[in-house]
Structure 1
Amino acid sequence: MAATPMFPLEVAMLPGEELPLRIFEPRYTEMISQCLAGEPEFGVVMIEAGREVGGGDVRSDVGVLARIVEHADLGGGRYRLRCILGERIRVTEWLEDAPYPRAQTVPWPDEHGPTVAGADIAGVEDTVMALFERIAQARDATLPPREELLGGPEPGQQPGDRLYALAARLPIGQADRYAVLAAPSACARLEALREAVETVAAMVEFQLG
């Protein structure tokens, strides 16, 4: 099984998001050069402790595959990339950094669980809109339309993917984003997102109060 090149970040990225990157560290310059010469994909995981630059970080074991859709070679070992994040992956084994991070990975589609209905997702959206309206009222501001703020389901989109898309639009913390990513099923993801929204709502009420 071929090793997957890995790019640890200090944020938790979600399937469907866009990831712009500037590459300048030598180990990642080599990684991206090899990706561009072959399969333009690499894994992205969140750093649980440590920093992006220099190594020595502690990495999570759930991430996503990033596909390079645009790139510019800026010279001097520097690249500018635009990547689209696709399927979720799970790390089964971290390998030696040689010289960049590598791992054995497997795809991790949603596991079976209780059905998530459109009404369940709409309930979370209603809670989010009420929160946004509370903030807007406190600031004497006018909210954009609901669909502009939260987006809408795409034709044929599965509930689990819709929850990823909704989470990507919300001002939740990195730990909550990772909980959404690492939820094994759509139902578990719904609960993780509900908890994240409740946390944000409590913080907002405390600040406004």
Structure 2
Amino acid sequence: MNKKVQLINLGNKDYKETWAYQEELFQSVIDTKISNRREEKQDETKNYFLMVEHPHVYTLGKSGDFENLLLSEKQLEEKGATFYKINRGGDITYHGPGQIVGYPILDLENFFSDIHKYLRLLEESMILTLKDYGIESGRSEGETGVWLDVGTPFARKICALGVRASRWVTMHGFALNVNSDLGYFDNIIPCGIRGKGVTSLNVELGVDKVDETEVKRKIIHYFAQLFEAEMVS
């Protein structure tokens, strides 16, 4: 089992280009697995972790509802945002500047064969990262992601999750609001969930800007710890 994970920092990159790159890596891992089984080989499968920040974009998961996007095509243009219907789970979400997005492309059979455990560990890496900033967060039953003040009228989401998996290989991932412009969430019903708010780390800390490089370091640290992975730059 190969527990090395290649960390690739893409900086600020267009969503569609990043999605194509994800698909390329995802398919390469699947192809190795198919070849191993067909030819009875034992070639190691590779694991990747892409970190990126996107220009303003809305994405809708395969089971999502178009009505959760509250903007017309013209209004999207006016806001400088794009929209894509994509092949992950979940409903609609927003990506943009000030948000840390992570796309782990893992062969889970290198770690464990349990997609629910995978999602819970992704959430846990965010929960532990936020705890380092004095922010207590957790899970909301039946609602994937990381939340604050769960079970109160003030429940609000700080991190969204949406993944795709095939042959135990994952793609897509998480989006943590760090210095996000939360106004962009007003144009959707986030994750298709009505009546619950969205927040970001800088808002919760009451500061103008949080050091995103430091947040990334913490996420990577906890991810490596939880998955017992060796991160390779």
* Same topology, TM > 0.5: no
